[in-house]
Structure 1
Amino acid sequence: MIAAGQTIDTAFTLKVVQDGEVREVVFRDLLTKPVIVSVYMKNNTGSCDKQNDSLVAHASEFAKAGYRLIALSRDTCGSHLKYAAKKNITYTLASDPSDAFARATDSLVEKSMYGRTFQGPVRAAYIINTQGKVLRVIEKVDTKDHSAQIKAALATL
């Protein structure tokens, strides 16, 4: 996994949902200000819902502090549109079915579920500056209190 101080390749493409619209972007184009990227597994699942509920409750604080908040999963933009409406999500939801962000952050790992082994992204959060330099990594997300983890990481910058 990438560490604080390292720079990621920001030339990969994602589809994002923001303000009820879907668009395709190059990740570096999202870096108009520092970003917080919170990686989760799937919309409408218990832990992931808790993680996003925590972000929803504090999204305006992160925006006021000068950060763009991005929650990223493998879900489609169609799923993200419904999820954003259901959860009152105002921040960016990124669709990354090809794990481009996980590859850029070297955070694609082997996982297993129901006896099946597969590759998947680590549930983690990254604070990245406008040049793509990783300022902090939260390697183990506390889904219930994720925003507190992010606030603690931001306080150390």
Structure 2
Amino acid sequence: MSERLVPGDTAPAFSLPNAGGGTTSLADFKDQNVVVYFYPAASTPGCTRQACDFRDNLASLKSAGYQVVGISPDPVAKLAKFTATEELTFPLLFDEDHAVAEDYAAWGEKKNYGRTYRGLIRSTIVVDGGGKVAAAQYNVRATGHVAKLRRDLTIDK
């Protein structure tokens, strides 16, 4: 696992397939703030709550100058179905070999019900318009995370 990112670090570049069939890159958000969030699996209860929370807060995030991108190891077809089912209005990206998650320190050792394994760590990295990490949050909760992120970024409703 890579070292966790901290504010001031240069955000690792990425270019990944998206749910719409194209490609989305960090460079697409040049001069914009972007919330890059990593989630384990589309259409699971926690990931659905988190994605819908981002969807429901997207207008206020955008009005405060933030774009949102979700990244998971799910295949594009699953991401497309998840996007359609939940009416998500931001890009979901496919990180097949979890290389981007590793670059962002969002892939590593996890513990669940006494079992230790390697997997995706629910994480959110805010990248500023200059490509620097503005905030890095690891092991976040699916429920209530967007509200906490909004407080941390001082975004009013």
Structure 1 length as normaliser, TM-score?
0.85
Instruction: Tell me which moved more, 22-31 or 66-75.
Output: 22-31
Residues 4, 125 of structure 1: alpha-carbon distance in 2 compared, 3 angstrom cutoff:
same
Q: Describe how 1:144-155 pairs up with structure 2 within 5 A.
A: 144-155=143-154
Q: Partner letter of residue 9 of structure 1?
A: P
Q: Partner letter of residue 126 of structure 1?
A: I
Q: Could you tell me which residue of structure 1 aligns to residue 131 of structure 2?
A: 132
Unaligned runs of 5+ in 2: none
Identity of matched residues, %:
25
How far off its partner does 1:118 sit?
A: 4.2
Q: Could you tell me which residue of structure 1 aligns to residue 9 of structure 2?
A: 6
How far off its partner does 1:112 sit?
A: 5.2
Q: Could you tell me which residue of structure 2 aligns to residue 16 of structure 1?
A: 18
How big is each residue's C-alpha offset from its partner over 1:105-138, in whole Å with a ceiling of 9 and x where there is no partner?
A: 2332123568875432320111101232110112
Backbone CA RMSD of aligned residues: 2.1
Tell me, what secondary structure is at the counterpart of 2:144?
helix
- Kept in 1, the 8 Å contact 2:122–2:141? The answer is no
- Kept in 2, the 8 Å contact 1:2–1:107? The answer is no
Structure 2 CA distance, aligned partners of 1:132 and 1:76?
A: 27
Structure 2 CA distance, aligned partners of 1:6 and 1:65?
A: 22
Q: Partner letter of residue 49 of structure 1?
A: T
Structure 2 length as normaliser, TM-score?
0.85
Q: Could you tell me which residue of structure 1 aligns to residue 103 of structure 2?
A: 104
Unaligned runs of 5+ in 1: none
Residues 81, 32 of structure 1: alpha-carbon distance in 2 compared, 3 angstrom cutoff:
farther
How far off its partner does 1:4 sit?
A: 1.4
